[in-house]
Chain A
Amino acid sequence: MKRAFTITLLIALALVLLNVMADLPPHGSAETPPYTHVGAYYLEHGPEETGSENVVTSVILNYRGFDTTGEVTVIVTALMAVIAVLTGTRDTSQEPDTAVTQIAPSVVVRFIVRVLAPFILVFAVYVILNGHITPGGGFQGGTMLGALIIALTLVLDERRSAKLIPQRSVRVIQVIAPLMFVAIGLFGLIAWGDYLFFPRSEELRPIVEIMLVLIEIGIGVGGAVVFARIFRLMAGRP
């Protein structure tokens, strides 16, 4: 009864949504509103104005830099919330039996991860550093780096996997993405008088590219460490 009611409700919702979808402009036409307003400007002027051949990167870091500042702050806030939820006051008396049986990963998994690790690392660094000229960027490369640390945490023993994240400097590294953004923003404020300002002249192009790459490195490293730490916290490790 309940299930039938739910399905009826969902079909009604789907019909309403599909009706709206049928009224949208045809898929793939260049006359749709998202394409004719600000997107066309970005495509036309993005490469000259921002020093980034990848227009997606120029939108993220340059035109909408404030937006991305907030975004990297969201990741750090999520990490802080996870720390607060998982390592807060632990009342061990009421806890159910949390003794997780440790199953060692098979030889195949260990071998494959160890063989692939250097290649994944090189690719992640490549994606981070080339985000302004090829597909990719800080978030994409940072995810790969974080996934690499998580995969190695799964196959290595506790003593060695703890060393993957430098314990002493982790407090700084996990907030490096917002810090790097603020540093670049303040640099623009001091040099040109506007917070998060990227000059649009041809002569200053190399400086702008260095600023973009620095932000990408900050996002990549910071994001990777945040995701790896969230994983370790969920696994009950410090």
Chain B
Amino acid sequence: MIEALWNNLDYAASVILFCIGLYAVITRNNLIKKFMGLNIMETAVFAFIVALGVVENGDAPIMGDGASAPFINPLPQALILTGIVVAVSTTALALSLVIRIWRQCGTIEADELREAE
């Protein structure tokens, strides 16, 4: 297993990054830090899927003068572009909700908000 993981080091790194993000989401009390953790998790997934399309000694998938096969798979990159845009949109909405919570309650710490209920 260790040798197979060493060959797939990019994938293993995204797993570690995912767990770091999940740790932040679970343990942090500050809502902004929770959303930072969520963004780290998203980044890990994006990195994993983009890494799936990589080919050894591959060229960027842009045809034209001087381009030579093999090319890196364009499909994961196109899908992840969509994913990044959606992630930005959700982050914007989440942060605006945090601003609203802070205006209403004067705090963005999860445990203080639970007490305030």
A residues neighboring B (CB under 8 Å) = 3, 6-7, 10-11, 13-14, 17-19, 21-24, 26-30, 32, 34-35, 38-39, 42-43, 46-47, 53-56, 58-60, 64, 67-68, 71-72, 74-75, 77-79, 81-82, 85-86, 90, 94-96, 98, 133-135, 139, 227, 230, 233-234
The answer to whether A39 and B74 touch across the interface, beta carbons within 8 angstroms, is: yes
The answer to whether A28 and B103 touch across the interface, beta carbons within 8 angstroms, is: no
How many angstroms from the CA of A227 to the CA of B32 in the assembled complex? 19
The answer to whether A30 and B61 touch across the interface, beta carbons within 8 angstroms, is: no
Q: Give the secondary structure class of A's interface.
A: helix
Would you give the shortest CB distance from B96 to chain A, in whole angstroms? 4
Q: A42-B75, A71-B85 are in contact. Are A21 and B23 (CB under 8 A)?
A: no
How many angstroms from the CA of A90 to the CA of B103 in the assembled complex? 9
Q: Which residue of B lies closest to A230 (CB)?
A: B92
Would you give the shortest CB distance from B47 to chain A, in whole angstroms? 12
B residues neighboring A (CB under 8 Å) = 1, 4-5, 7-12, 15-16, 18-19, 22-23, 26-27, 51-56, 58, 60-64, 70-71, 73-78, 81-82, 84-86, 88-90, 92-93, 95-97, 99-100, 102-104, 106
How many angstroms from the CA of A158 to the CA of B102 in the assembled complex? 24
How many angstroms from the CA of A17 to the CA of B17 in the assembled complex? 12
Would you give the shortest CB distance from A73 to chain B, in whole angstroms? 10
Would you give the shortest CB distance from B13 to chain A, in whole angstroms? 10
The answer to whether B89 and A55 touch across the interface, beta carbons within 8 angstroms, is: no
How many angstroms from the CA of A71 to the CA of B84 in the assembled complex? 10
The answer to whether A75 and B89 touch across the interface, beta carbons within 8 angstroms, is: yes
How many angstroms from the CA of A77 to the CA of B93 in the assembled complex? 10
The answer to whether B53 and A17 touch across the interface, beta carbons within 8 angstroms, is: no
Q: Which residue of A lies closest to B107 (CB)?
A: A96
Could you show 25 A-B contacts with beta carbons less than 8 Å apart? A6-B23, A17-B19, A18-B15, A21-B12, A22-B5, A24-B8, A27-B9, A39-B73, A39-B75, A43-B71, A46-B74, A53-B62, A56-B78, A56-B81, A71-B85, A75-B85, A75-B89, A77-B89, A81-B93, A85-B99, A86-B100, A133-B62, A133-B64, A230-B92, A234-B99
The answer to whether B63 and A53 touch across the interface, beta carbons within 8 angstroms, is: yes
The answer to whether A74 and B54 touch across the interface, beta carbons within 8 angstroms, is: no
Would you give the shortest CB distance from B100 to chain A, in whole angstroms? 5
How many angstroms from the CA of A27 to the CA of B58 in the assembled complex? 12
Residues of A within 8 A of B58 (CB): 28
The answer to whether B19 and A10 touch across the interface, beta carbons within 8 angstroms, is: yes
Q: Which residue of A lies closest to B51 (CB)?
A: A27
Q: Which residue of A lies closest to B91 (CB)?
A: A78
The answer to whether B99 and A35 touch across the interface, beta carbons within 8 angstroms, is: no
Q: A6-B23, A75-B89, A82-B92 are in contact. Are A27 and B7 (CB under 8 A)?
A: yes
The answer to whether A22 and B8 touch across the interface, beta carbons within 8 angstroms, is: yes
The answer to whether A27 and B85 touch across the interface, beta carbons within 8 angstroms, is: no
